[in-house]
């Protein structure tokens, strides 16, 4: 089975440009997460979707960041306008529902994509 697929793997852009990162979760998983990883701050949860609905977006840094999940097999993270401090590795991860407990929530075990390394000059 294919794992979580992210694109692009690398993105270099100039300050002020729009950046769109894409993610395809594992089929059958009901939860999707966007994380940002930097040396200074480590892994930070940006947003969590359950059944395509944003559950917790308290980690989204500011209005320049937005995330969507139009269907169960696709999500985007957009930064507009981008700034040099947005340079980081952005991970998408997905998780499956807990067996016997319906479709709300997840098992807690996250499967990560390979990440998108963003450099904003």
Partner 1 sequence: AQTVTQSQPEMSVQEAETVTLSCTYDTSESDYYLFWYKQPPSRQMILVIRQEAYKQQNATENRFSVNFQKAAKSFSLKISDSQLGDAAMYFCAYSGRGGADGLTFGKGTHLIIQP
Q: Does 75 bind partner 1 (CB under 8 A)?
A: no
Q: Provide CB contacts within 8 A for 53, sequence distance 6+.
A: 69
Q: By CB under 8 A, tell whether 107 contacts partner 1.
A: yes
Q: For residues 120 and 65, is the Cβ–Cβ distance under 8 A?
A: no
Q: Is 48 in the site for partner 1 (CB under 8 A)?
A: yes
How far apart (Å, rounded) are the C-alpha atoms in residues 45 and 37?
9
20, 74, 112, 119: which one binds partner 1 (CB under 8 A): 112
Alpha carbons 36 and 77: distance in angstroms, whole number = 11
74 touches partner 1 by CB under 8 A: no
Contact between 56 and partner 1 per CB under 8 A = yes
Note whether 110 binds partner 1 by CB under 8 A. Answer: yes
Under a CB-based contact definition with an 8 Å cutoff, are residues 50 and 106 in contact? yes
Return the residue of 93, 94, 118, 120 that touches partner 1, per CB under 8 A.
93
Give the shortest CB-16-to-partner 1 separation in angstroms: 27
């Amino acid at each position: 089975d294919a794992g979580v697929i992210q694109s692009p793997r690398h993105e270099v852009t100039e300050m002020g440009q729009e950046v769109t990162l894409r993610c395809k979760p594992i089929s059958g998983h009901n939860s999707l997460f966007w994380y940002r990883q930097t040396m200074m701050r480590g892994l930070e949860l940006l947003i969590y979707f359950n059944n395509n609905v944003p559950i917790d977006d308290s980690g989204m840094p500011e209005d320049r960041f937005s995330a969507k999940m139009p269907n169960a097999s696709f999500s985007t993270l957009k930064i507009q306008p981008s700034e040099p401090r947005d340079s980081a590795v952005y991970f998408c991860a997905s998780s499956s529902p807990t067996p016997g407990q319906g479709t709300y929530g997840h098992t807690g075990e996250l499967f990560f994509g390979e990440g998108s390394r963003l450099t904003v000059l």
